[in-house]
Structure 1
Amino acid sequence: MADIHVLLVTGEYPPMAGGVGDYTERLAAWLAREGVESTILAPVGQREQVIGFGKWGWPAARKVADIATRVGANVVHIQYQAGAFDMHPSANLLPCLLRDKFPTLTTFHDLRPPYLFPKAGVLRRFAILRMARASTRVVVTNPFDAATLAGREIDTVEIPIGPNLPPPDLDLPVDRDTVAFFGLPSRAKGIIELIEAIGLIDPVRRPRLMMIGDMGTASANNDLVPLAEIEQLAADLIVRVDRTGYLPAQQASNALARSGVVALPFQHGASLRSGSLLAALQSGRPVVTTEPHAPTSLNDVGRMPQLQIIPRNNIGRLSDALEVVLAAEDGVGPLPWPYGWPSIAAAHASLYASVIEGWERRER
């Protein structure tokens, strides 16, 4: 394989909180094992091989090609999620800005459109499609997004995401009186429903809720639940809530492995877009989540013995499931091979090599 140097462009990166940043960090680490050099272009550049661009916008977008040239990259890979780029449309035009300069891949972590201006619904959707069509190759993380883009006659490569944490240490003690929630506390992730469900459990048996990870900052560009709202609801329902705050990745993984159960009751159903879900399944603890819209969209992950799937937005069923799982014997299985980082990194390295070869052939 020829030398590969990829510039990974992301709207968030540790120490910033967010799943896309965690994913990008782990992708870069595993790519190194495949012999792929990477430089990360992110809002904050506090580490070796990470270049900071500050606030994302047009000035930052116009600098990407120059930065790629300066670091010696031969492929650019955008990790796209509208919220991570502050909903700014300049991210969607990056493949156009780079089209004649570098082969450019875009991984769509979701297909949420950017914000343009009020009542710009059609144009916002067009921005996503334009980004996909201008990219040299498009990567999606799940069958649903692949089908959505196929309906627009856009070819994609499906490479699943992996857990956004390393595996936990072995033989950790388990606290069966703890329900763990991992990741940013968004409304879509079901944090409100989870507190309400715990509040339905008899006070004698009621577990505590352990919120693992950074709380983030609620704003108009996200659906994070403010800490004050969480604390008020928990106080009203007499639910004990403990928060770890930001933890290094290994400590966060160990915190999941010590919990009685991990609960991620997504309002819109579980999805393979979620690195938090995969990290929970990797932890060796039972996981309660909500049914996806398409029964087959979880692929073989949906058949893992530690996964308990309940109806969406049903607080009573969620409460019952937590009680049952906390009292049951554990049955766990390993993550299927495609969702492990060795497989994910190898798929990326192969794709980069193919794209670079095609680009160089075109340039001759």
Structure 2
Amino acid sequence: LGMHILFVTGEYPPMQGGVGAYTEQLALALQAQGATVSVLSSARAKARQHGHLSAELAIYPEFRHWGMAIWPAVKKWVNKLGADWLHVQYQTAAFGMNPAINLAPWFWRQQTHVAWTYHDLLPPYLFPKAGHALRTWVTERPAHLCHLPIVTNEGDFQQLAPKAPTVQKIPIGSNIQGVVLAPAARAAQRALRGYAEDALVIGYFGFLNRSKGGLTLIRTLERLRHAHPHVHLLMIGERVGASDPTNFAYLQEVEALIDQLGLAERVQWTGRQDDAQVGADLAACDVLLMPYEDGASLRRGTLMAGLASGCAIVTTTPQTPLPELVDGRDLCYVAPGDAQAAANAILQIASDETRANALRQQARRRSQLFTWQAIAARHLELYESTAYIQL
């Protein structure tokens, strides 16, 4: 048998969240390339039975809390399963803001190889008045304590690499398989959603939180209403995610703005759906608007899904380098929080079919940089080449 990798993740399906979806896709792709993969996660990932094999993946929904007790508990699982690598999929909120996980690699590395993927570099909340320097130290500690630290994008790489020279960059993939709809199937999907042929359908994918610019989304729709009589907004997917309780409060702000501006008739929420339905809805939109407050980034699985689905994308100017995607060729950038600029960009695409099709083709082409097969192969290469490092 190949190498055995044990993932530790604060969220995993059926919990809603990008890190859980990423972990599942990576695990399946690694397994397809000959590795054995097990997943230790939150007890909230329970709807899949204990030790349930999802396509031969062993899932153990073990943990209710992520405090110090995880140190010996995870070590026991490493022994029990004979894991060659222990790989933490880290996002601050997914581990309940608890810093115990950040220091754990020091304990675990005595027994096995430890890898650590940063899905963000947001410092955790430690205690009142904990300074930014201490919180940043806690966030960056694992990069110094594990054999293989990984980031998902160039901005995070530039932040960590000077301090942790062993850090590697591997992008994330789309958790949605892109669907290509023939013109008749696309028209049928739009009709299914109740849109007339001359409708301008703006899509948004993923649940809402403050960093994703939901209020800008609604203000853009308000501006478009005056320019296009049949504009609609299709909100694709679940409304809120599992890891961050502030998401729900933000959703209520967005819903209040929709009501205040009298836009309820123009906004449709699909709710949770399977990947094929998500793919069909993405393909049916005229433009995908993703107005991230902190700019477009390769750590956004929702952006990856838009590329894989061949969407004409309007998103916000990256705040850190994003050399892989070029403005005007692969997608269109506008300033964060600028609803008028977003509306103008959408109207330009909607009025120029040749340009819209060029953006769609190019998006699909760029998504080939981020296939799960390539991502899994790169992981295996790094597991093999760093297995000899002595810490």
**What is the TM-score of this pair, normalised by structure 2?**
0.85
Q: Which residue of 2 aligns with 1:144?
A: 155
Compared CA separation, residues 132 and 307, structure 1 to 2 (3 A):
same
Q: After TM superposition, give the deviation of residue 346 of structure 1 in Å.
A: 0.6
Alignment partner of 1:273 out of 284, 292, 299: 299
Q: Encode CA deviations 1:131-179: one digit per residue, 9 max, x unaligned.
A: 2110111111111111111232442111111112112244240545221
- Whether the 8 Å CA contact 1:149–1:155 is kept in 2: the answer is no
Q: What does 1:1-364 align with in structure 2 at a 5 Å threshold?
A: 3-43=2-42, 44-45=45-46, 46=48, 47-48=52-53, 49-58=58-67, 59-121=69-131, 122-171=133-182, 172-173=185-186, 175=190, 176-203=199-226, 204-216=228-240, 222-223=246-247, 225-239=249-263, 240-294=266-320, 297-302=321-326, 305-329=329-353, 330-331=357-358, 332-333=361-362, 334-356=365-387, 358=388
Compared CA separation, residues 139 and 153, structure 1 to 2 (3 A):
closer
SS at match of 1:301: coil
Cα distance in 2 for residues equivalent to 1:55 and 1:304: 46
SS at match of 2:186: coil
Q: Encode CA deviations 1:225-258: one digit per residue, 9 max, x unaligned.
A: 5443222211222222211111122221221111
Cα distance in 2 for residues equivalent to 1:199 and 1:327: 18
- Whether the 8 Å CA contact 1:184–1:224 is kept in 2: the answer is no
- Of 74-83 and 85-94, the range deviating more from structure 2: 85-94
Instruction: Report the identity percentage.
Output: 34
Amino acid at match of 1:84: A
Cα distance in 1 for residues equivalent to 2:245 and 2:105: 23
Q: Encode CA deviations 1:13-46: one digit per residue, 9 max, x unaligned.
A: 1111111111111101111121111111111241
Compared CA separation, residues 189 and 284, structure 1 to 2 (3 A):
same
Amino acid at match of 2:66: G
Q: Encode CA deviations 1:71-111: one digit per residue, 9 max, x unaligned.
A: 22110111111011121112212212202011100011111
- Stretches of structure 1 lacking an aligned partner (at least 5 in a row): none
- Whether the 8 Å CA contact 1:269–1:312 is kept in 2: the answer is yes
**What is the TM-score of this pair, normalised by structure 1?**
0.91
Amino acid at match of 1:21: G
Cα distance in 1 for residues equivalent to 2:139 and 2:176: 29
Amino acid at match of 2:311: R
Cα distance in 2 for residues equivalent to 1:327 and 1:225: 36
- Whether the 8 Å CA contact 2:152–2:169 is kept in 1: the answer is yes
- Whether the 8 Å CA contact 2:209–2:240 is kept in 1: the answer is no
Query: RMSD value over aligned CA atoms?
Result: 2.2
SS at match of 1:53: strand
Cα distance in 2 for residues equivalent to 1:289 and 1:233: 21
Q: Which residue of 1 aligns with 2:193?
A: none
Q: After TM superposition, give the deviation of residue 306 of structure 1 in Å.
A: 4.6
Cα distance in 2 for residues equivalent to 1:72 and 1:222: 38
Cα distance in 2 for residues equivalent to 1:125 and 1:182: 31
Q: After TM superposition, give the deviation of residue 9 of structure 1 in Å.
A: 1.0
- Stretches of structure 2 lacking an aligned partner (at least 5 in a row): 191-198
Amino acid at match of 1:307: L
Cα distance in 2 for residues equivalent to 1:196 and 1:35: 49
SS at match of 1:25: helix
SS at match of 1:353: helix
Q: After TM superposition, give the deviation of residue 325 of structure 1 in Å.
A: 2.0
- Whether the 8 Å CA contact 1:132–1:154 is kept in 2: the answer is no
Cα distance in 2 for residues equivalent to 1:272 and 1:251: 23
SS at match of 2:110: coil
Cα distance in 1 for residues equivalent to 2:144 and 2:128: 25
Equivalent residues, number: 357
- Of 141-150 and 218-227, the range deviating more from structure 2: 218-227
